Amino acid sequence: MLIHSTWTLGVSESTVLPRSYGLELVKQLHQQLYIEMGSEAIPSISCSGIMGLKSTSKDFVTFHPEEFYKLSICGLQQVSAKAISHLNLSDSLEFLGAKFNIVNREDETTSYEELYTELVANEPEAIRRFDLQFLTPTSFAQGGVSLPLPVPNLMFRSWLERWNHFAPVYLGGDELIAYLSNATILKNHKIQTRSLSLNKGYVNGFIGDVTLQIFNRVDPLLANVANLLVQYARFAGTGMKTRLGMGQTAILEVNQKN
């Protein structure tokens, strides 16, 4: 089972939180889900943090009553997905003395089997262009440092690692990554650098729009596997620290034209 739950939030008055509020938010959500934080080598939850228009200063962030905000939580296996589906935040989310009113909730559910059947096993017409939007800072762990760039090889490796860990259908290993890397180009991007504040520092990442293009010579089956991994990114996120609010990924458009 896979779930992508999105809450629409609002505040009744200007609300100020420390810039590193995200860690406390994620800790509280894990407690409410009865999932021990940090107990998994590969986290079975991805979380967006609170997204929307807010004012930032050196140490604080201000949420405004005239704005709406989004909080997304995704579960990547049966236990975490079921816990998220049963999560009842009532009419508000409160932490660190702040109160966010819950305006709406939307759930998208599917399964690994459904995704694989629809996007690969049924042999649909191959899609070769993917327009992605990275909603929260996205980065990749590289030799002890973070790399805040949309490198196709690292994106596919991130998605495949999570898929192979949680899904009942194994897709492949390093050879598949090598093939997809040689079959894909970064066609366009419009990105900016953003940082995620943590209690002891921050992590740089990128946000913005990225277009990936699969070459026409690529076998349709492999193009479909690439599409499967791209679609999976909506649940799994991309790159490092997806549990803490990094790497939230949306598919802006899937275009069969080159």
185-205 per-position pLDDT tens digit: 999 999 999 999 987 789 999
Compute, in degrees rounded to 10, the torsion defined by CA atoms 87, 91, 94, 99.
150
- Residues 77 and 95: their CA atoms lie apart, in Å, by 27
Q: Which residue has the higher pLDDT, 37 or 110?
A: 110
pLDDT at 51 over 50: yes
What count of Cα atoms within 13 Å lies in the side-chain half-sphere of residue 230? 28
* Angle (nearest 5°) at CA 193 between 23 and 181: 100
Query: Which pLDDT value is given to residue 215?
Result: 97
128-174 per-position pLDDT tens digit: 999 999 999 999 998 889 999 999 999 999 999 999 999 999 999 99
Sign of the four-CA dihedral 212, 187, 256, 207: positive
74-118 per-position pLDDT tens digit: 999 999 999 999 999 989 999 999 999 999 999 999 999 999 999
pLDDT at 257 over 60: no
First to last CA, the chain: 33
What is the helix, strand, coil percentage profile of the chain, to 5?
30, 40, 30
Taken in order of first residue, the domains within the chain and their CATH numbers are 2-110 (3.30.70.1890), 126-255 (3.30.70.1900)
| Coil, helix or strand at residue 191 | strand
- Residues 92 and 73: their CA atoms lie apart, in Å, by 16
202-253 per-position pLDDT tens digit: 999 999 999 999 999 999 999 999 999 999 999 999 999 999 999 999 998 6
Query: Which pLDDT value is given to residue 207?
Result: 98
Q: What percent of the chain has pLDDT over 90?
A: 90
Whole-prediction pTM value? 0.95
Reported confidence tier of residue 254, pLDDT bands at 50, 70, 90 = low
Sign of the four-CA dihedral 104, 38, 169, 228: positive
